[in-house]
Amino acid sequence: MVSFTAEQRNDIRTRYQRVDTSNVADVLDTLGYMDQGLSPDFLPYPHTAGRIAGWAYTIRGQMTPYELGGDAEKMKACQGLSEGDISVWSGDGHGICYFGELIAIGMKERGCLGALVDGGVRDVRWIGAQNFPVYARYRTPVQSIGRWKVTGCQVPVYMRGATTPLVQVNPGDFILADEDGAIVIPQAVVEQVLAEAEALTQKEETIRAELQKGLTLAEALAEYGHV
């Protein structure tokens, strides 16, 4: 497991905010990580949420009936979040939300920058008012209490994938999501992927500028190659 200082974590996160998931996906392909994209079912809530970029803090749960009155394990798990984290929620929830406005506020207070939810979210309007971006598979008014419980945190979890049924997310992996979707960057290659994605981004910006000046697409491809 790679260890980063707080300063390194913040620098890496800030730089990832300036690259697109599409370029990150292309770099991961060249490195042999072909199945890191998440299902297209993951959408921003609200739709104006914008991108998320941060370190994966994983939370796992499962459907199980129990008495109303809250989920102490969920609250305990959220206490572990820290600055720069993205809370990654996994489990077998069907038709229920994993969290709503109040938990989102608590996560934000701890420095959490957003959430990636392989399940449902509610209180979308109010979460949006908190400027707390969420990418989830669906929204629903139905609460998890009495139906779904947290069973662990900071453990490897699985999320629905784009090119494979499931993508493993480990604590400390990097999460990036934008208009094109969501992707997981394994911690072991997070710096290499970032550097190569930045170089690809710069190359694309150069091509766009040349096209604006009148260079044809065929000429651009001949000069700069495939991008």
What number of CA atoms fall less than 13 Å from residue 205's CA on the CB side? Answer: 9
225 is in an annotated binding site: no
pLDDT-flagged residues of the chain (< 50): none
Strands 52-63 and 43-45, by their bridges, are unpaired
Angle, CA of 80, 92 and 34, to the nearest 5°: 80
- pLDDT (0 to 100) of residue 188: 97
- pLDDT (0 to 100) of residue 222: 67
Residue-wise pLDDT for 6-39, tens only, equals: 999 999 999 999 999 999 999 999 999 999 999 9
Residue-wise pLDDT for 199-227, tens only, equals: 999 887 776 776 777 767 677 666 666 66
Query: What predicted TM-score, i.e. pTM, was given to this entire model?
Result: 0.91
92 is in an annotated binding site: no
- pLDDT (0 to 100) of residue 203: 82
68 is in an annotated binding site: no
> Are 140 and 122 in contact, with CB atoms under 8 Å apart?
yes
Element (H, E) at 71: none
- pLDDT (0 to 100) of residue 147: 96
Rounded Cα gap, residues 178 and 162, in angstroms: 15
123 is in an annotated binding site: yes
- pLDDT (0 to 100) of residue 187: 97
Q: For each of the domains in the chain, give its residue range(s) and CATH number, in order of start.
A: 6-188 (3.50.30.40)
